[in-house]
Amino acid sequence: MKKMIKIELKLTNVFLIKIKQKYILVDTGYEFEMPTLLKGLSENNILLNDIEYIFITHCHDDHVGLIKEMITQNTNLKLIISEKGGKFCQTGKHNNIPGSGHINKRVSFVLKIKSKLNPKWNHTFPSFNIREQDIIITKDCKLSEIGINLNGSIILTPGHTLDHMSLIIDDKCICGDAAANFLGFLGLKNCVISVNDINTYYTSWDKIINQKVTTIVPSHGDQFSVKRLVNNLRKNKEKNVVKWGEEYLTTAST
């Protein structure tokens, strides 16, 4: 695999992929995490201006919180974002649709406690607009098709969100929240804590598995074998998803 650098933020992993003398940054973390991100870059002798692209897996606060600040500081940055993400980034909040919810009751209980302890955790981020230089992804494609000289591809992987997509580099899938490896005691079975639609989420697992990758590189937790996706496929059931109320649903066009 091409050189990949992992930077661990408070709750989210972000990744740097080397392309010649520049880098692709996969996601950014929360809006308050710029000092941590810059520290991680500095430890790897990378400047903010060395980043040419930001690949956005999806528009959630822990993944795009720093986008607005970064494109202000480095105006040459190009965003790689899905077509639906291009709409949701303007809302500054999570994109949830009817049927969205926590993966099970245990997760819902823990997250309710967290929300009470941290009322500022409101799932919002500084909104930003797509610019002419940014790259909008409408379908699965090779990186070479969007002008990046790297052996890899982009696949749409909805289910966690409508706008979710993943990056395939050699035998690895940098999957954002299309899968996870944390909070195992809550019965996640390599899912993330919330989904727009559990059936679509597992269809995206099928798609990732069919890419013939060997390793899953998630935004939450350490990388793991794709065999765990195969073994846990459809283990979480739609009947156990704790649905959210109207106040959590998006007003953006789907």
By DSSP bridging, strand 194-195 and strand 224-225 are unpaired
pLDDT tens readout for residues 189-231: 999 999 999 999 999 999 999 999 999 999 999 999 999 999 9
Query: For residue 254, is it within any domain?
Result: no
Domain that holds residue 60: 4-247
| Rounded average pLDDT over 93-119 | 83
Query: For residue 66, is it within any domain?
Result: yes
Query: For residue 252, is it within any domain?
Result: no
Name the domain count of the chain: 1
What token pair was written down for 223?
Answer: 């990388």
Q: Name the pTM for this structure.
A: 0.93
Query: For residue 253, is it within any domain?
Result: no
Query: For residue 173, is it within any domain?
Result: yes
3-state helix, strand, coil in the chain (%, to 5): 30, 25, 45
Query: For residue 236, is it within any domain?
Result: yes
Asked if 199 contacts 82 with a C-beta cutoff of 8 angstroms, the reply is no
Does 229 or 243 have the greater pLDDT score?
Answer: 229
Alpha helix (H) residue ranges in 74-164? 83-88, 105-117
Query: For residue 104, is it within any domain?
Result: yes
pLDDT tens readout for residues 17-37: 999 889 999 999 999 999 999
The pLDDT value recorded for residue 251 is: 43
pLDDT tens readout for residues 51-75: 999 999 999 999 999 999 999 999 9
CATH of the domain at 102: 3.60.15.10
